[in-house]
């Protein structure tokens, strides 16, 4: 993989301050291309749509999230390529760093080019048809590169559109976003931000489940040993009551002998 594919990604991050993957580690190749969608609560809430292609994740920021309604054309802003091991990232990017905020692994799975296209040629052409096989997103989709950007746009804009198939939902396409739990850990964004619940199960890198309280770029404080409450002094036992004095028994009478 050419080193310059991740140059823009690395230039935006200070890896002395954030522990996001630098791309030096390359996950083992899989028999099928992988995709992930990460819900990212940064300065603006959005969904990061990532497709594995030629050794990296081609990536787009989808402000409103994907829709299953073919009538909905979601703006997808192309961002820098990301390393493949980013596909296991669920946690917190420290505040003040690029993209600082909470990240959830919202969906993941496999994809293939649709219609027999060569994926590299389709991406270069700007008419990128794919079929997804995820836990939430399935069926045909297309990414269409817009010919003209809006004034002031510094990035390339695309449209993410659902193809009409058995997975399409007319008029109710955004309802898929109500499935608002991580596919890797079952947690909500609030759970992830609090470091509670179980850690994310890896997908790109086989290995142990990640820490639920992982804050990328800083180590959590060591847990303090629980302090035992001092033992209360023993309660004084009540004094035994003296037994009541018994009245003396009357003297026994002796029978008198007859005179």
Residue with tokens 């404080």: 221
> Which tens digits make up the pLDDT trace of 169-208?
999 999 999 999 999 999 999 999 999 999 999 999 877 7
The chain-wide mean pLDDT, for the chain, equals 85
231 — pLDDT class (breaks 50, 70, 90): low
User: Which three-class secondary structure state does DSSP give residue 59?
Assistant: strand
Please provide the size of the chain in residues: 259
At residue 50, does pLDDT exceed 90?
yes
Instruction: Answer yes or no: is pLDDT of 17 > 50.
Output: yes
Q: Which pTM value belongs to this model?
A: 0.79
pLDDT band per the 50, 70, 90 thresholds, residue 244: low
The C-alpha atoms of residue 116 and residue 60 are separated, in whole angstroms, by: 23
Checking if the pLDDT of 225 tops 50, the result is no
Rounded-to-integer distance, Cα 1 and Cα 86, Å: 16
Residue 130: name the closest of 120, 121, 141 by CA. Answer: 141
What would the pLDDT profile of 131-169 be if each residue is shown by its tens digit? 999 999 999 999 999 987 666 667 899 999 999 999 999
């Amino acid at each position: 993989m050419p080193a310059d594919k991740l140059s823009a990604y690395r230039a935006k991050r200070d890896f002395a301050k954030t522990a996001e993957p630098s791309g030096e580690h390359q996950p083992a190749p899989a028999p099928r291309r992988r995709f992930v969608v990460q819900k990212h609560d940064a300065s603006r809430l959005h969904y990061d749509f990532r497709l594995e292609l030629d050794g990296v994740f081609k990536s787009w920021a989808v402000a409103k999230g994907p829709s299953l309604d073919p009538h909905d054309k979601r703006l997808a802003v192309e961002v820098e390529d990301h390393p493949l091991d980013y596909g296991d990232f669920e946690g917190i990017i420290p505040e003040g760093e690029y993209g600082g905020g909470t990240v959830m692994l919202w969906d993941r799975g496999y994809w293939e080019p649709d219609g027999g296209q060569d994926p590299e040629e389709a991406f270069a052409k700007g008419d990128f048809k794919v079929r997804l096989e995820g836990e939430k997103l399935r069926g045909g989709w297309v990414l269409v590169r817009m010919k003209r950007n809006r004034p002031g746009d510094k990035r390339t804009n695309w449209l993410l559109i659902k193809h009409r198939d058995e997975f399409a939902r007319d008029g109710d396409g955004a309802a898929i976003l109500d499935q608002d739990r991580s596919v890797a850990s079952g947690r909500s964004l609030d759970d992830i931000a609090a470091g509670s619940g179980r850690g994310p199960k890896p997908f790109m890198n086989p290995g142990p489940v990640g820490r639920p309280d992982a804050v990328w770029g800083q180590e959590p404080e060591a847990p303090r040993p629980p302090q035992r409450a001092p033992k209360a002094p023993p309660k004084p036992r009540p004094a035994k009551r003296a037994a009541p004095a018994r009245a003396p028994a009357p003297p026994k009478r002796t029978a008198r002998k007859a005179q």
